Amino acid sequence: MEAMNKNIILAIVALAVLALAVAGYLYWKKPERPLESAADDLEQASASVPEINTNPVENEVPELNPVERVNPFKYENPLR
């Protein structure tokens, strides 16, 4: 009975090692994708994403500069 259990365990381990070896071989032998197709995929993905405007005042400049209104050194001293 002991020898039979050891043989079953040994067979299971051997099959697992063989399955991992075959899976590793297939993984390393798979064809590589050329970089051009990856770049094309990236362009297609970026083209499908809509452009989102996150700055509501993007090209608008305020008419008055608040620094010009409160700068004490811009005006002449009235006590001179």
Query: What would the pLDDT profile of 47-76 be if each residue is shown by its tens digit?
Result: 777 777 777 777 776 666 666 666 666 667
At 21 the pLDDT is: 96
Query: pLDDT category, 29, cuts 50, 70, 90?
Result: confident
pTM given for the model: 0.39
Residue 20 belongs to some domain of the structure:
yes
**Domain of 19?**
1-30
Q: In angstroms, what is the C-alpha Rg of the chain?
A: 36
Residue 3 belongs to some domain of the structure:
yes
Distance CA 56, CA 53 (A): 7
Q: Which of 31, 4, 3, 25 is nearest to 17 (CA)?
A: 25
Residue 66 belongs to some domain of the structure:
no
Count helices and strands in the chain by DSSP H and E runs: 3, 0
Question: Total structural domains in the chain?
Answer: 1
